[in-house]
Amino acid sequence: MTNRVAITRVSAGDTEAAVREAVRLAGGFNEIIHSNSKVLIKPNQCKPMPRHSGFMTDGDVVEAVTKLVLELNPASVVIGDGAIAGWDFGGFSTQEAFDSSGVTEVARRLGVELRNLNTDPSEEVRVPNALVMDTVRIARTALTSDVIISVPVLKTSSRTHASLSFKNMKGVMPGAEKRKSHHLGLDMAIVDLCTAVRPHYAIIDATVGAQGLGQYPEDSIEMGLIVAGSDALYVDIVGASLMGIDPSQVMHFHYMGEREGKRAALDAVDMVGERLGDHRRVFATGFDAFRANYPEVNFVEDESACTGCTNELVSAISFMKKAGYGEHMTGLTVVIGTVTETEAKDKDKVVALGKCAARLPGAAAYIPGCPPKEAEMVRGIAKACRADAESVIAMMAEERKKVWDASSSVLER
C-alpha cells in the first residue's frame, strides 16, 4: 500500500484505456493479486439508475477493472454488491441495479460470477478496537476474498459529504445490517466496517459524478476521469477534493487516518497523472441540499464543522418536521464547529452541537459529544423549540422499525 494516487482522463470515450493507465501509474495490481488470490470487485450498485448518471459505478469501468484482474489469472474473480437498504426509505433490488448499470452484461461477457451480497451467506465478525460497532455482519464472499477492489462512483452523501471507496464497502453488509451503521453514527461505523474488511485497492469511476441529494438528471456532473491507488484513504481524499470537499470535514477519513497512523490530508498524497487543480469542481454536498429545504432553520458552521455532527443533524431535523414540529423550528439556529458568536435573531432558540461548539455563549441547549448522539440532538433541539422530544424519538423508532420490517422481504429479491 502506498500513498500514490493517479488521476487519468477518459479520452475519445476510451474508458478502458483510462482505467489501465490509472492503475499502471498507481503501481499496478502485481503486488496484491497472485495466482492463488480470490478477488472481489466491489462496484457501487446502490439502486437502479440510468447509465452514466453518476449514481452507480458504470459497467464500462467495471469491465476495464475486471479485464485487468483476469489478466493476472487469479484463483477466482467475483463481482459483488448489495443494493441500499435505506434508513429512512425502503430497499432496492440488487439485480435491477446490476442490470441498469450494464454490470450484468459485463459479467456475462467476461464469464465472471455476479453475486448479490444482500442474499449471500453472512457471518457476524468482531471488530478489533471498535469505535461504535463491536460486531458486524458481513457477506461471506467479502470475508473469504484475499483481495477486495472497491470501485465506487464519485458522489456526495447527505450524511458523510463524500461517498467513495470506504463508504462503498457498506454493500458487503447484507440487507438491513446496513442500517445499523446509520443508527450508530455513520462515519464511525464506516471506519469499523473497513477495519474488518479494508479494500486492498480503490478505483473511482469519476467519469460522471453526482452531487447534492442525487436528483437525476440535474445533479449529474460530467468529469471524464478515473482515480486509482492502493490505499483507499488517499484515493478517497483525492476524490473528495475533486468534488471541492475539504477532506478534513469528512469524519471517517479523519478516524481512519488516526487508526492507521496516517495524515488524512491532500498534501500527504503522492499525486500522479492529471493535475487535480485542473479538474476540481464544486459539488453541492448532500448537507447543502438538505439545508436548502429548511429555510426556517439557520445553520451556522465554520470550516471545523464535520460530518459527525451534520450526519446526525439531518435525521434529527427531518424527524422533528415529520413529528409535526416544522413550525416550532422557525427561528431555530443550529451551530456546528468552533463558532464563538452568532447573530441569531431569536437568542432563545440557539442550539450548540458537540464539543466544537461548547464555547458558544448563551445557547438554549448544548449537546455534548463528538459526535453527539442523535437522540440527544433531538432533545436539545426540542428543548429550544418547546417541543416534546420523547414523542419525536418514539416516532423515529417506530418508523425505522416499520421500514426495517418492510424492507427485509424486498432485500431477498
355 binds ligand SF4 (CB under 6 A): yes
CA-atom Rg of the chain in angstroms: 21
Alpha-helical regions (H) of 9-158: 15-25, 59-70, 94-101, 103-110, 140-143
What is the β-pairing status of strands 220-229 and 201-210?
Answer: antiparallel
Indicate which single residue of 64, 306, 332, 389 sits in contact with ligand SF4 (rule: CB under 6 A). 306
Give the angle 165-112-150 at the CA atoms, nearest 5°.
5
Taking the least distance from each CB to ligand SF4, the nearer of 304 and 408 is 304
Which one of the spans 21-29, 192-200, 352-360, 383-391 is the region binding ligand SF4 (CB under 6 A)?
Answer: 352-360
* Contact flags string 76-95 toward ligand SF4, x per CB under 6 A: --------------------
Q: Distance (Å, rounded) from C-alpha 218 to C-alpha 213?
A: 10
CB neighbour list of residue 275: distance below 8 Å, 6 or more residues apart: 7
Nearer to ligand SF4 among residue 66 and residue 307 (C-beta): 307
Q: Minimal distance in Å, beta carbon 409 to ligand SF4?
A: 35
**Of 206 and 365, CB closest to ligand SF4:** 365
N-term to C-term CA, the chain = 37
Angstrom distances, CA of residue 166 to CA of 157, 195, 211, 345: 12, 10, 18, 40
Query: How many Å apart are CA 113 and CA 76, to the nearest integer?
Result: 9
Residue 278 has which C-alpha cell? 485542473
Work out how close the CB of 214 gets to ligand SF4 at its nearest, in angstroms, rounded to a whole number: 23
* Neighbour-count burial for 353-371, b at 16+ CB within 10 Å, e otherwise: bbbbbeebeebbbbbeeeb
246 to 285: interface string for ligand SF4, x by CB under 6 A: -----x----------------------------------
Closer of 92 and 253 to ligand SF4 (Cβ) = 253
CB of 367 to ligand SF4, least distance (A): 9
226 neighbors 205 (Cβ within 8 angstroms): yes
Shortest separation between residue 396's beta carbon and ligand SF4, angstroms? 20
**Which CB, 91 or 371, lies closer to ligand SF4?**
371
C-alpha dihedral, 119 to 121 to 124 to 128, nearest 10°: -90
Burial 154-189 (b: 16+ CB within 10 A, else e): bbbbbbbbbbbbbbbbbbbbbbbbbbbbbbbbbbbb
Residue 337 within binding range of ligand SF4, rule CB under 6 A: yes
- Residue 377, interface with ligand SF4 (CB under 6 A)? no
Partners of residue 227 on adjacent β-strands? 7, 204
Residue 308 lies near ligand SF4 (rule: CB under 6 A) = yes
Residues 153/42, Cβ–Cβ less than 8 Å: no
Q: How far is the CB of 185 from ligand SF4 (least distance, A)?
A: 9
Coil vs helix vs strand at 114: strand
Q: Between 58 and 376, whose beta carbon lies closer to ligand SF4?
A: 376
The residue within the footprint of ligand SF4, chosen from 133, 309, 323, 344 (CB under 6 A), is 309
Count of residues touching ligand SF4 (by CB under 6 A):
13
**370: contact with ligand SF4 by CB under 6 A:** yes
Shortest spacing between CB 307 and ligand SF4, in angstroms: 7
Q: Is residue 336 close enough to count as binding ligand SF4 by CB under 6 A?
A: yes
Distance, CA of 253 to CA of 162 (rounded, Å)? 10
Q: Which range in 171-179, 207-215, 304-312, 373-381 contacts ligand SF4 by CB under 6 A?
A: 304-312
Q: Which is nearer to ligand SF4, 205 or 288 (CB)?
A: 288
Judged by CB, which is closer to ligand SF4: 162, or 305?
Answer: 305
Residue 88 DSSP code: S
Residue 243 or 309 with smaller CB distance to ligand SF4: 309
Alpha helices (H) along 220-296: 232-242, 251-260, 286-292
Q: Which of 356, 378, 387, 403 binds ligand SF4 (CB under 6 A)?
A: 356
Q: Could you say whether residue 339 binds ligand SF4 (CB under 6 A)?
A: no
Q: Nearest distance from residue 303's CB to ligand SF4, in Å?
A: 10
Q: Using CB under 6 A as the criterion, which residues of the chain lie in contact with ligand SF4 when the complex forms?
A: 251, 305-306, 308-309, 336-337, 353-356, 370-371
